[in-house]
Amino acid sequence: MERPLDLDAIQAFILVADMQSFTRAAEALESTQSAISLKLKKLEQRLARRLLERTPRLVRLSAEGQQFLPAARELLAAHDRALDRLEQGTARFSVGISDHVANSGFAKVLAQVNGYDPGVVIEVRIASSRDVMQQYERGELDAAIVRREPQDQGGELVMEERLGWFAAPHSNCWAGKTLRVATFSTSCRVRELAVRRLDDAGIPWIEVFVGGGIHAVGAAVSAGLAVSAMLYRTAPAGAIDVGAQMGLPLLPLAQVMLHSRLKEARTREALRTLVAALKAA
C-alpha cells in the first residue's frame, strides 16, 4: 500500500498556487520559505510529477500542477469536513481593515481565506485606519489591520506600501499654477501628510474634491478631476503616478500594522492567512 499524501504539503501547495509566492504561503502557515519548499519537493517526489515552475521572480503551476489543483482542493475540503463533524459549531472573529489596505482584489483575498478554512466565520469592517483603531481599542474588534498613525502604540509591522500622486492619463491637474487636488476627509492621515508635503515644497494647491473613502476619491481621480495621494495598491485602474513628471514631492512608505487579541489557534491561523493574502493581492 502506498503511503498517503501529506496534508500539510497539500495545504502548502494550494496556498503557493493561490498566492504565487512561497514567501506569502510561509507567512500564512507561520513557517519558513525553505520549509514550504521542502514540503512541496517531497510532494512532487511522492506524485512523481512537477507541480510548480519556479523562477527568481515568479512561481506558477505547471500543466500537471493545474491538473492536480482541483483534486488537492477536494482532498483538503474533505479533511476539513471530517474535522468539522468533531467540532462544535464554527470559529468566529471580527477584524477591521483600513480602506487603504483592502483594495479591489479583496474578493480574491476572502476566497483564499475561505478556501484555507471554510469553517471560520469572519466579520469584516472596512473603514479609515483611525475609525478601525478606535473600534479595536473599544473592544468591538478582535483584530485590526491599519496604517500606522503617529499616536498608535504596539502592533506588528506586516508590510510597507508605496504612496504616489495618482491621476487619470491626460487629465489636467493644474488650474494655472495651482495644483488641483482630490483629498480624503480631514480625519485621514494620508490627506494630512499629502497637503503638508505640498506646503513644505511651496506648491500652491486647491482642494476640488473631498471623499469620505478610497472609492470616492478613486472615482474623482478616474474622472480626471484632480491628482490625489494614494497607496499604489488602492489606486483606481488606469490611473498613473504623475509625481515625477509634475515635480511633486516624494511621499514616504505607509506602514501597515496588525493588532490582534486572538488567542485560539484556529482563528489566529485564519487571520495570518488573511494578512498573507492581502500582501499578495
Pair 23, 138 in one domain: no
Asked if residue 153 has pLDDT above 80, the reply is no
Query: What pLDDT score was predicted for residue 87?
Result: 59
Q: What is the pLDDT of residues 55-105, one digit of tens each?
A: 767 788 999 999 999 999 999 888 877 776 555 567 899 999 998 898 778
Q: What is the pLDDT of residues 214-270, one digit of tens each?
A: 889 999 999 999 999 999 988 999 999 999 999 999 999 989 999 999 999 889 999
Pair 81, 23 in one domain: yes
Pair 169, 242 in one domain: yes
Average pLDDT score over the chain: 90
Pair 147, 39 in one domain: no
> Quick check: 199 and 248 in contact, CB under 8 A?
no
Pair 11, 80 in one domain: yes
Short-list 247, 256, 130, CA closest to 184: 130
Confidence tier at 152 by pLDDT (50, 70, 90): low
Query: What pLDDT score was predicted for residue 86?
Result: 58
Tell me the CA distances in angstroms from 167 to 145, 163, 189, 225, 231, one per residue in order. Answer: 27, 13, 20, 8, 12
* Cell output for 2: 502506498
Pair 81, 102 in one domain: no
Has residue 207 been placed in a domain? yes
Question: Which one of 88, 113, 132 terminates a domain?
Answer: 88
Has residue 117 been placed in a domain? yes
Q: What is the pLDDT of residues 25-66, one digit of tens each?
A: 999 998 999 999 999 999 999 999 999 998 767 788 999 999
Query: What pLDDT score was predicted for residue 212?
Result: 84
Q: Which residue in the block uniquely carries the three cell numbers 500539510?
A: 8
Domain boundaries, position 147: 91-160+255-268
Asked if residue 204 has pLDDT above 80, the reply is yes
Has residue 278 been placed in a domain? no
Question: Which one of 62, 88, 114 terminates a domain?
Answer: 88
Query: What pLDDT score was predicted for residue 117?
Result: 81
Has residue 277 been placed in a domain? no
Pair 137, 263 in one domain: yes
Has residue 171 been placed in a domain? yes
> In this predicted structure, which of 24-33, 72-81, 172-181, 196-205 has the lowest mean pLDDT?
72-81
Roughly how many angstroms between the first and final C-alpha of the chain, as a whole number? Answer: 41
Query: What pLDDT score was predicted for residue 114?
Result: 85
Share of the chain above pLDDT 70, in %: 96
> Quick check: 267 and 150 in contact, CB under 8 A?
no
Question: Residue 232 belongs to a domain with what CATH number?
Answer: 3.40.190.10
Query: What pLDDT score was predicted for residue 85?
Result: 58
Asked if residue 129 has pLDDT above 70, the reply is yes
Pair 37, 80 in one domain: yes
Tell me the CA distances in angstroms from 74 to 15, 78, 181, one per residue in order. Answer: 14, 6, 50
Question: Residue 69 belongs to a domain with what CATH number?
Answer: 1.10.10.10
Pair 100, 80 in one domain: no
Has residue 121 been placed in a domain? yes
**Residue 26: left (phi > 0), alpha (psi -120 to 50), or beta?**
alpha
Pair 107, 45 in one domain: no
Has residue 279 been placed in a domain? no
Pair 156, 213 in one domain: no
Number of domains in the chain: 3
> Quick check: 125 and 132 in contact, CB under 8 A?
yes
Chain center to CA of 158:
10
Pair 156, 167 in one domain: no
Has residue 274 been placed in a domain? no
Which alpha helices (H) appear in the chain, and where do they start and end?
A: 7-19, 22-28, 33-47, 63-84, 106-116, 129-137, 189-200, 214-222, 243-246, 265-280
Question: Which one of 88, 112, 135 terminates a domain?
Answer: 88
* Cell output for 85: 463533524
Long-range pairs for 125-129: beta carbons < 8 A, 24 or more residues apart: 125/94, 125/95, 125/96, 125/97, 126/96, 126/97, 126/98, 126/99, 126/102, 127/96, 127/98, 127/99, 128/98, 128/99, 128/184, 128/185, 128/187, 128/188, 128/213, 129/98, 129/100, 129/189
Query: What pLDDT score was predicted for residue 91?
Result: 85
Short-list 271, 264, 266, CA closest to 84: 266
